[in-house]
Copies of this chain bind each other. A is one copy, B any other.
Amino acid sequence: MSDYTAPIADMRFALEEIAGIGEIARLPHCEQASPDLVDAVLEEAAKLAAGVLAPLNHIGDQQGSRLENGVVRTPEGFKEAYRQYVEGGWNALPFDPEHGGQGLPMVLATAVLEMWNAANMGFALCPLLNVGAVEALTAHGTDEQKRLYLPKLISGEWTGTMNLTEPQAGSDVGALRTRAVPDGAHYRITGQKIFITYGEHDMAENIVHLVLARLPDAPPGTRGISLFLVPKFVVNGDGSVGARNDVRCVSLEHKLGIHASPTCVLAFGDNGGAVGYLVGEENRGMECMFTMMNNARLNVGLQGVAIAERAYQHARDFARQRVQGRPVTAKAAGTYPIIHHPDVRRMLLLMRAQSEAMRALAYYTAGAIDRARHHPDAERRAQQQRRVDLLIPVVKAWCTDLGVEIASIGVQIHGGMGFIEETGAAQHLRDARIAPIYEGTNGIQANDLVGRKLLRDRGAAATELLADMRTIDRRLEAAPGEDIAGIRPALALAIDALGEATSWMVETGAADLPHALAGSASYLKLMGIVTGGALLAQGALAAEARVKTGTGDVAFNKAKLMTARFFAEHVLATAPGLVPAITGGATTMSFDLERL
Contacts and interface: CB of A to CB of B under 8 A. Distances in A.
Interface of A: 165, 168, 170-172, 174-175, 194-195, 253-257, 316, 323-325, 327-329, 335, 339-349, 352, 404, 408, 411-412, 415-416, 418-422, 426, 429-430, 433-434, 436-438, 441-443, 446-447, 486, 490, 513-515, 517-522, 555-556, 558-559, 562-563, 565-566, 568-570, 573-581, 584-585, 587-596
Copies of this chain, tallied across the complex: 2
A515 B574 CA distance: 20
Contact of A171 (B324, B347, B575): B324
A345 B577 contact: no
B175 A325 contact: yes
B581 A570 contact: yes
B433 A172 contact: no
Contacts of A343: 443, 446-447, 517-518, 520-521
Contacts of A171: 324-325, 415
B566 A587 contact: yes
Contacts of A339: 593, 596
A584 B346 CA distance: 10
A341 B513 CA distance: 11
A575 B442 CA distance: 24
Contact of A521 (B172, B328, B346, B593): B346
A452 to B, nearest CB: 13
Given A175-B324, A342-B585, 12 more contacts: A172-B324, A254-B420, A339-B593, A342-B589, A345-B518, A346-B518, A346-B522, A347-B443, A522-B570, A569-B580, A573-B579, A573-B581
Contacts of A575: 577
Nearest to A512: B328
Nearest to A521: B343
A175 B334 CA distance: 11
Which 5 interchain pairs have the tightest Cβ spacing?
A: A172-B325, A569-B584, A574-B577, A559-B595, A342-B518
Given A490-B580, A566-B584, A426 B256 contact: yes
A556 B335 contact: no
Given A345-B589, A596-B352, A437 B412 contact: yes
B437 A418 contact: yes
Nearest to A412: B436
A596 B313 CA distance: 9
A210 B23 CA distance: 67
A341 B589 CA distance: 9
B433 A415 contact: no
Contacts of A555: 592, 594-595
B580 A325 contact: no
A269 to B, nearest CB: 23
Nearest to A441: B415
A342 B433 contact: no
A329 B514 contact: yes
